[in-house]
Every structure is written in C-alpha cells, then in structure tokens.
Amino acid sequence: MLDIIQIPVLTDNYIYLLHDSDSGETAVVDPAVAEPVLAVLKQKGWQLTYILNTHHHSDHVGGNVELKRQTGCQIIASEFDKHRIPSVDRGIKEHDVINLGTHSAQVIATAGHTSGHIVYYFAEDNALFCGDTLFVMGCGRLFEGSAAELWQSLQKLKALPPKTRVYCAHEYTQANGRFALTVEPDNIALQEKMIQVNELRANGLPTVPSTIGEELATNPFLRDLSSTLQAKFKGIAPVELFAKLRRLKDSF
C-alpha cells in the first residue's frame, strides 16, 4: 500500500508525500516550499528519496533546492523542463516509468497549462498526481499551450479507470464548482457534489482527492457529450467547446 500524506501550503497548494513502507523509499510531489515537507519527514522518520515535479512553476518547485541540499534526494522532472527546473537529476518523458520501491508510476505528458507538463499515474494504487492539468471540477489555465493541446491531454486522463483518485495541486474546487453550475445548472451530480464541497470547506477540510469517475460526472471540461452543453453550444466541435469553456472560466 502506498502511503500518501497531503500537506497544505501557501494559500491553496497541496504537496504530496508518497512512502513505500517495504523499501523505505519516499517521494514528494511538487514541493512548493521545503519546511513543511521536512517537518513531516522528521515526524514520520522517513528519508526523502525523490522529488517528482509536474511542471516548472515556482509554486511547484520552490522547495526543490533546499530539500535536495538537506536530504540528498534525486529530482525527477520532464526532460522538456530540465533547463527551467533547478538541479534536475533525471529528465523523463511520456511512457517512462518511475519506481518507488514496489510501486510504479507511468509518466503521461499533458501539455497545455505549460508546454512540458507531465503527470504521474500509479495504476496499482489508483492514484493520479496531476499537478495543474486537471482540478476537481476544473482544469489548468492555458499559460503556454493551446486549447487543443490541453483538450488532448485531458482525453488521456478521461480514459483512466473511474476509481482513479485525482490528487491535484490546488484547492480551487469551490470556485470551479460555481463556474460549472453556470454552464450545467441541471446536473444533479454536480449539485450534490457542491453541497459536499461547501460542507467540507466550511469545516476546513480538503476537497481533494476526487476520482476520475466523479470528474466525468461533474467537471464541464470533461463533459463535451453532456446534452446541456451540447444544447448550449450547438454545432461546436468538442475541442472548440473546450476552448469556449476555458475562455468563459478565465473571465468568471
């Protein structure tokens, strides 16, 4: 069993610590800052083996150098981003496999939010660490890639098993849900999801992780076949529908 610890940092970021008890190996996904990670490592008695970065933005790599300095861990990131992420030891690309003790993650390229964005999919553990590509009821902004690129990236994630847990890097869920209700107000699953989300946040609890199944039912960026969205945006191809929704969300 892969131990997963979710660490809230900054305003709305999540860092994830992954630990394999059989080997003792530990990885951290997207450490925005080092101190909270070091504190949990000390508390658990774990030694950091790897940093797994999804993309180069500072709120995902800000703790890299200090963590490597204090633990001697290896930094793993997209080959495309090796020049933009400091101290990368291993550049990886789509279809590469990362081993964490007895657990393994498939690397999936998800250009769109950034050109070199990647995600880590632990199939046997039903866990997807997707950075800023997919959020609960949302998706990343188009900072470097095109709508067509991000749409294609999301098709890869849509195809994962419905039970796959979605560990995204930000607590954006309430705002994403409010937007989703403006474009698909009659979606019962979405309405029920928002009741749960609002209750969780009112109690200071995270809304992450979600699952791929939940996202297929509630996330408008994955729901181009929805009858409501089809009626609202008649005659628009799926990728154009996605681009339209992304523009609407940007100005929401």
Report in angstroms the alpha-carbon separations of 42 from 37, 69, 167.
9, 15, 23
Catalytic residue among 81, 125, 132, 224: 132
- Which of 19, 55, 103, 117 is labelled catalytic? 55
* Residue 113 known to be catalytic: yes
- Which residue, 182, 218, 216, 183, is CA-closest to 197? 218
- Of 56, 57, 103, 117, the catalytic one is 57
Burial of residue 239, with CB atoms counted within 10 A of its CB: 0-12 exposed, 13-18 middle, 19 or more buried? middle
Residue 193: exposed, middle, or buried by beta-carbon count in 10 A (0-12, 13-18, 19+)?
buried
132 flagged as catalytic: yes
In the residue annotation, 170 being an active-site residue is answered as yes
| First-to-final CA distance of the chain | 40
Catalytic residue among 19, 60, 103, 117: 60
Residue type, 15: I
Catalytic residue among 113, 117, 125, 224: 113
Q: Which residues are catalytic?
A: 55, 57, 59-60, 113, 132, 170
